[in-house]
Amino acid sequence: MRISLSELEQARRDQRAYVRQRESPEGGFFFKSGYTTLQRSVFRFHQSKGDLDEAKRYLQESYERQFKHKQKLQRYVEQLERYVPEFNIQGNSFF
């Protein structure tokens, strides 16, 4: 199991609360990462029938809500913007 440094600090401070959070259905074994947030924004792009602005808005809001340091956000926005034309060029479809 991989644990981020922030989660490790939380576990160190209050082990019981950390275990309860991990075992709860809402907490699950979800790891916060910028890449996971990017993946969810790609899914949002497809759910919104190709609305890139909606996907970017989702990415920015989710990232800002989850992470203190925002230096990588622009990189993820650029990756999302590159994903859309690549997806369309390959002729893929989402269902």
Q: How many domains does the chain have?
A: 1
| CA torsion angle 37 39 44 50 (round to 10) | 130
Kindly state whether residue 54 falls inside one of the protein's structural domains: yes
pLDDT at 8: 82
Of 57, 1, 52, the C-alpha closest to 29 is: 1
Over the stretch 16-71, which tens digit does the pLDDT of each residue have?
877 777 765 454 445 678 888 999 999 999 999 889 999 999 999 999 888 888 88
Q: Which domain holds residue 78?
A: 32-89
pLDDT at 27: 47
* Residue 75 neighbours by CB under 8 Å, 6+ apart: none
Sign (positive or negative) of CA dihedral 50, 51, 54, 60 = positive
